[in-house]
Structure 1
Amino acid sequence: MDAQELLAVLDQDWVMEACAEVRRRPEAVGRRFTSAGRHVGRAPLAGAPGWRADEAARASLLAALPPEDLSARLFVLYAEGTTEEKLAVLKALPLLPVGAEVVPLLEDAIRTNDARLLTAALGPAARHLDQATWRQAVLKCVFTGVPLDGVDDLGERADAELAAMFAGFAAERAAAGRTMPADAAALLDRLATGHLHRQGEV
């Protein structure tokens, strides 16, 4: 789903008017961004799984910004925002014409202890993260109990080094009489099996 489709699903007059104002006056985005929840509510958005109305409204406002203003305003809105507003910025990133310049936002979200921010940082925008940072973020999901089904492109990016990290963590858990989360254990099994198969093909 792109930004235009999200805006169409949201279909609220306040959002349409707010986006029009942001196109005319980009400096209005801060005020509109902050007040979005009061105007559109926070209910799950039918027709856009995984989005709430306030998140979709904020993503639409970001998509309305002129490209030359976008990156700078993203950083300000994220830095000054509440957790809900930071989450909206992160979820909007895959819908926006941005690239590796947003890595500091993703890294900040990964450093937090908020499972929602961590999950959002490992969505489609995580393609901008280097492999080492991405692996550490995935391991943090396991460590903190964040489900791995929210990690975008996990099957493609998971590699032998991630498997080794998982194996080390599993050993630590076992020594403490604890088990790995089921999704992490299943991924470790798949990675180990795939590695053995590749060895057998050599």
Structure 2
Amino acid sequence: MTPDTTATAPTRETLHGLLDDDAGSWLDAALAEAHAHASPHTPDGQDAGPGAVPPWELRFAAAGRHCGPDHADAARTLLLRAAAADTGTLTRLYHQGTGAERRAVLLALEHRVAGPDALPLIEDALRTHDSRLIAAAVGPYAATHLGAHAWRHAVLKCLFTGVPLDAVAGLARRARGDGELARMLADFAAERTAAGRPVPADLHHASHLTGEEF
């Protein structure tokens, strides 16, 4: 399983090394707009009308097209950091965004939100059946802030939707000695067996972590 460590935010230099010249130039311009938006000394967007979308947010939406799907998460994370996006901005981008944009917001939460204020975004993602959103939702932010009951159900949701438990940050730490999680895992395994369906190997690993294998 993946060690219980907090993911490192991508650096501009690292991402630049993976992009071609056109994409790198686009990223530089996008980050400059995001920095301008965050700076109290820069009249960014002062001529825009009420309700106008800041230029960097348009860049956020376009990151996949310009940087490619393999690097869009990193580009969007850098933009959120450069723009000093707060919980309100992250929430708006999440609810207005595509699945890929929502995933990027979820991945950025550990670096952008210090407290539990963004938990509604985690909870929303966990109600979906989008495996990429679920995997992003059970990262370090959830490991730190998600309550025990919701976290246990998140683990079960991963098993139910086929998301590898490697995606669950802090799994070993939070599962240790959790008798209720062990019971839920045993019940899930029994339901699968009764239905003639295989029990995921990850389930046995999680049960072992609780210390109460069945």
Normalising by structure 1, what TM-score?
Answer: 0.83
2:133 corresponds to which of 106, 117, 125? 117
Matched position secondary structure for 1:180: coil
Q: How does 1:95-110 map to 2 (within 5 A)?
A: 95-110=111-126
Moved over 4 A (4+): none
User: Does residue 1:78 correspond to 2:77, yes or no?
Assistant: no
1:10 corresponds to which of 9, 15, 24? 15
2:68 corresponds to which of 38, 41, 47? 41
| Cα distance between partner residues in 1 of 2:196 and 2:172 | 28
* Counterparts in 2 of 1:98 and 1:28: CA distance versus 1, 3 Å: farther
Question: 1:97: how far off?
Answer: 4.2
User: CA contact under 8 A between 1:142 and 1:184: conserved in structure 2?
Assistant: yes
Which protein is richer in helix relative to its size? 1
Normalising by structure 2, what TM-score?
Answer: 0.79
RMSD between aligned alpha carbons? Answer: 1.8
Q: Which moved more, 1:86-95 or 1:72-81?
A: 86-95
- Structure 1 residue ranges without an equivalent (≥5): 43-51, 197-202
Q: Percent identity?
A: 47
User: CA contact under 8 A between 1:163 and 1:188: conserved in structure 2?
Assistant: yes
- Structure 2 residue ranges without an equivalent (≥5): 1-6, 17-23, 39-53
Letter in 2 for 1:62: L
Q: How does 1:43-58 map to 2 (within 5 A)?
A: 52-58=70-76
1:164 corresponds to which of 174, 183, 191? 183
User: CA contact under 8 A between 1:21 and 1:28: conserved in structure 2?
Assistant: yes
- Number of residue pairs aligned between Structure 1 and Structure 2: 182
| Cα distance between partner residues in 2 of 1:190 and 1:10 | 36
| Cα distance between partner residues in 2 of 1:18 and 1:121 | 26
| Cα distance between partner residues in 2 of 1:163 and 1:81 | 36
Letter in 2 for 1:29: W
| Cα distance between partner residues in 1 of 2:27 and 2:11 | 11
User: CA contact under 8 A between 1:2 and 1:95: conserved in structure 2?
Assistant: no
Question: 1:118: how far off?
Answer: 0.4
Cα deviations across residues 75-105 of structure 1 (Å, max 9, x unaligned)?
1111010001111111122232432111011
| Cα distance between partner residues in 1 of 2:55 and 2:169 | 33
Match of 2:199 in 1: 180
Letter in 1 for 2:111: L
